[in-house]
Amino acid sequence: MLRGKRIILGVCGGIAAYKSAALTRLLVKSGAEVKVIMTPSAHDFITPVTLATLSKNPVLTTFSNADNGSWNNHVELGLWADALLIAPATANSIAKMAQGICDNLLLAVYLSARCPVCVAPAMDLDMLQHPATLTNLEKVKRYGNLIIDPAHGELASGLIGIGRMAEPEDIIQHLGHLFTTAQKLAGKNVLVTAGPTYEAIDPVRFIGNHSSGKMGFAIAEELANQGATVQLVSGPTNEHTNHPRITINHVTSAEEMYNVSTTLFSTTDIAVLAAAVSDYKPTTKATQKIKKKDSDLTLSLTKTNDIAASLGKLKHKGQIVVGFALETEDERANAIKKLESKNLDLIVLNSLNDTGAGFGYDTNKITIIDRQHREKSFSLKDKRAVARDIVQAISEFQ
């Protein structure tokens, strides 16, 4: 899966740098051509000779070679690579990546690279959980880079927690997934819906739900990372993205989301309907604020257009429509019923009965079901990891 791929391995100055030797060996054994760039402080943890021997290429650290005066062209290196893998990525380097600082060769290559960038953080758990690090990681993610989540275990400090660099074998799997999925999704036009919709009662009040939009935005970014061009139709949410392959269409109501989605669908290869769309709206919207009275207020509600069902009817050969089912009872049966009745290709089921899943959480737990009722269940994961699972399922369906 990596045969013939050109990989730049960036090694930063942390104790996990010792794993870069095994990682380099695995990359080479997988058939990749590997060039290693070390930050200056990485030399304190592993020697360039070790990585040069394993990669079969000279190890680079500085912009120029003092011995012969030659120039290590960061632009050429960035254009040469099929992927840039930074492992381990320290808190210091992640902070510089987030701010666009390039005070060493590796960071200059990072800013010049046009290829996918994978980042494998490694640091002590308190450093990882510090607000500054979390903010920097979020920025690096939003730039379109793939974060290979650190693992839980014993750290160099002796503490137990999340912060260990992912094992080299797991990193190789992530890279393989990146190339396999990217080959199938590159150039695809994808429609993603995200967030809630708000249905106005009067100029002040509305009917809505607790959807944060995190899942939909994570899916959109993962698809874009794999080379797809994404039209993201988002209801009101605090989420945002600056990914260059994502166009955001902001809407408020179910009707607005329906109109934009059905218009975009004709030029869409894949539609992923992750939004929590209101099923009902007030029959009439009051033009003035409704005053509180002693008597009860009765609202008349009208059913909204079903976006998933509508796109399922409009779908032609070659288009894929993925729906979502958030359930509280008879979860599997209800999800399959929705899959069949709306002519969907895949449905992503999650249950509000699962702790840590559903609205507002940074995690989710899903089961993906296809038209043959084959299903694959996943453990509770960060929503970005869940997004990768969903995108992988879509790429395998094609």
Which pair of structure tokens corresponds to residue 170?
């797991």
Helices (H) and strands (E) in the chain, counts: 13, 21
CA distance 5 to 27: 10
Catalytic residue among 72, 189, 209, 305: 209
Environment class of 368 (CB within 10 Å of its CB; exposed 0-12, middle 13-18, buried 19+): buried
Alpha helix (H) ranges present in the chain? 19-29, 48-55, 74-80, 91-99, 105-112, 125-129, 131-142, 168-185, 214-225, 254-265, 307-314, 331-341, 383-397
Asked if 24 contacts 55 with a C-beta cutoff of 8 angstroms, the reply is yes
CA distance 347 to 218: 17
CA distance 389 to 395: 10
DSSP β-ladder status, 367-370 and 375-377: antiparallel
CA-nearest of 396, 348, 342, 340 to 372 is 340
Asked if 174 contacts 272 with a C-beta cutoff of 8 angstroms, the reply is no
CA-nearest of 82, 28, 77 to 56 is 28
Asked if 192 contacts 223 with a C-beta cutoff of 8 angstroms, the reply is yes
Asked if 385 contacts 362 with a C-beta cutoff of 8 angstroms, the reply is no
Residue 259: active-site member? no
- Beta bridge partner(s), residue 84: 8, 117
Q: Which residues are catalytic?
A: 209
